[in-house]
Amino acid sequence: MLPENDSCEFSGCDTLKYVAQEGCHVACGPNAADTSVETVASDEIGDPCDCEFDVLDDEDNLLQGLNSYRTSLSLPTLTKNKNAECLADKIAEELEDQPCTAASTVNAPQLANYNHLIEKCNIDINSTTDSAIMPVCVHKLVPTLVLTNYTHSPRYAKQLNNSKFTGAGVGSEDDWMVVILTVNTPAGSFVNGAGCLGGGGFLMVYLLMGLALFI
């Protein structure tokens, strides 16, 4: 049911009373614009609203924060890249067991199965060469600290300030957050692969592992 005692705004809906259709977005809160929530369609359109409300998760909140940062610099916002998001999730899972205290020593060899992760996400490896992979580790992924790790880290801010990056994939696991920046060119668009990766080619990705940590 809709939250009580809150104002709500609807878009893409036929009615403001009950919502049971896909693509219908609801924002609820003391100020409706403060919280973005999306309905999940019920089994039977027209039933009283038996919808689930999913508040923006850590990844979406971070992407919003990064886009606000870029907007403040008069840079275009980053659009969500689903394939990059898949890879970011896989990398975060690989780093999950690494403690934050060891994060400053994390380096590329610890992602020796990187090509396998790309294959699991069905990404053409040749479309990943112009990208930036930026992992951070923050205890409990406190949103403000996660964002600060990106916007106040000279190395990461340099990538975020680069106008060539047009897309992003964000993934997290435990205390780890991973952001992958993509470009709108064949070398960095993270397009779907043919289903199986070849052995050729040299992967050159900005794997940025020098982290400013807040634990």
Average pLDDT value for residue range 18-26: 41
- In sequence order, the 6+-apart residues with CB closer than 8 A to the CB of 105 are none
Same domain, 144 and 89: yes
- In sequence order, the 6+-apart residues with CB closer than 8 A to the CB of 161 are 70, 73, 75
Q: What is the pLDDT of residue 193?
A: 84
Backbone angles phi, psi at 29, to 5 degrees: 155, 175
Cβ pair 104, 195 in contact under 8 A: no
pTM of the model: 0.67
Give the residue from 180, 194, 30, 20 showing the smallest Cα distance to 111.
180
Q: What domain count does the chain have?
A: 2
Same domain, 122 and 48: no
Last residue of a domain, which of 55, 74, 93? 55
pLDDT digits (tens, 9 = 90+) for 85-144: 999 999 999 989 888 876 666 654 357 788 899 999 999 999 999 999 999 999 999 999
Last residue of a domain, which of 15, 32, 55? 55
Cβ pair 132, 182 in contact under 8 A: no
Q: What is the pLDDT of residue 170?
A: 97
Same domain, 92 and 163: yes
Last residue of a domain, which of 55, 78, 93? 55
Q: What is the pLDDT of residue 102?
A: 66
Asked whether residue 212 is assigned to any structural domain, the reply reads no
Same domain, 51 and 113: no
Q: Which structural domain, as residue segments, surrounds residue 83?
A: 59-207
Q: Is the dihedral of CA 83, 84, 89, 90 positive or negative?
A: positive
Q: What is the pLDDT of residue 56?
A: 57
Same domain, 96 and 38: no
Same domain, 82 and 26: no
Same domain, 80 and 166: yes
Cα distance between residue 84 and residue 131, in whole Å: 10
Cβ atoms within 10 Å, residue 84? 27
pLDDT digits (tens, 9 = 90+) for 130-181: 999 999 999 999 999 999 999 999 889 999 999 999 999 999 999 999 999 9
Asked whether residue 138 is assigned to any structural domain, the reply reads yes
- Residue 8, SS3 per DSSP: strand
Q: What is the pLDDT of residue 155?
A: 84
Cβ pair 138, 174 in contact under 8 A: no
Cα distance between residue 206 and residue 154, in whole Å: 14
pLDDT digits (tens, 9 = 90+) for 47-74: 334 343 344 588 999 999 999 999 999 9
- Residue 166, SS3 per DSSP: strand
Same domain, 116 and 131: yes
Q: What is the mean pLDDT of the chain?
A: 73
Cα distance between residue 75 and residue 89, in whole Å: 26
Asked whether residue 215 is assigned to any structural domain, the reply reads no
Tell me the CATH number at 131. 3.40.33.10
Same domain, 98 and 185: yes
Same domain, 41 and 66: no
Higher per-residue pLDDT: 26 or 193: 193
